[in-house]
Amino acid sequence: QQQVKQSPQSLIVQKGGISIINCAYENTAFDYFPWYQQFPGKGPALLIAIRPDVSEKKEGRFTISFNKSAKQFSLHIMDSQPGDSATYFCAASMSTSGSRLTFGEGTQLTVNP
Amino acid sequence: GAVVSQHPSWVICKSGTSVKIECRSLDFQATTMFWYRQFPKQSLMLMATSNEGSKATYEQGVEKDKFLINHASLTLSTLTVTSAHPEDSSFYICSPKGPLQETQYFGPGTRLLVL
């Protein structure tokens, strides 16, 4: 019930295309859903996050879509750029359990020029 | 976001020696510190959680006597890998957290290689 399932494991997109990464969760007590971007040899960096009271959040080229009934959320990267090539992790946490993050397995995104 | 530093950024040591990794939150006070371990091409695995001034809580399967965590202040936490072995070679990442879920940040990581 604590798991967060992420797909695909890897994704190759052409420059200018849309990258879509999906995550699904089981525990309905999760109330915070962040996405992290990680470059090789670096720590993860928060990209964008959403709470279950909204269905979509957009920040620049990054959008989170959230479907509470389906217990799914996804990251959309519009106009993907080679500099977006990185590993992306979705995560979830619940405020009632110390806010520890449960991470998805990660998606390695490659944006070809 | 907040500024988090880790030192050293990478370390190579001989099997059987101990290694200390420092994590500093430079511009905010971390009431909670998470320590993660990440193996190549894998996700982050939570090792332990500590609150300032309290003993750390370790995840199942993580040896508390091998991975010593100290969270003596709101801006400094240390992870000591005692009697390191090659299987401890990994990428260790600290994650200080403030009072809100949105105030959790990650350090740049420390690459440990045990020969």
Q: Determine the Cα–Cα distance for residues A14 and A10; give it in Å rounded to an integer.
A: 14
Does the distance separating the beta carbons of A93 and B97 come in below 8 Å? no
* B2 token code pair: 């907040």
pLDDT per residue over B12-69, tens digit each? 999 999 999 999 998 888 889 999 999 999 999 999 999 887 889 999 999 999 999 9
Closest CA to B106 of B43, B8, B25, B51: B25
- Identify whether the C-beta of residue B64 lies closer than 8 Å to the C-beta of residue B70: no
Q: If you average pLDDT over every residue of chain A, what do you get?
A: 95
The residues on B that touch A, with CB distances below 8 Å, are 1, 4, 6, 32, 34, 41-44, 46, 49, 91, 93, 95, 97, 101-102, 104-109, 111
Does position B72 have pLDDT exceeding 90, yes or no? no
Tell me the CB-side half-sphere exposure of residue B21, using CA atoms within 13 A: 32
Q: What is the pLDDT of residue A37?
A: 97
User: In sequence order, what are the beta bridge partners of B69?
Assistant: B79
Q: What is the pLDDT of residue A63?
A: 97
pLDDT per residue over A1-16, tens digit each? 569 999 999 999 999 9
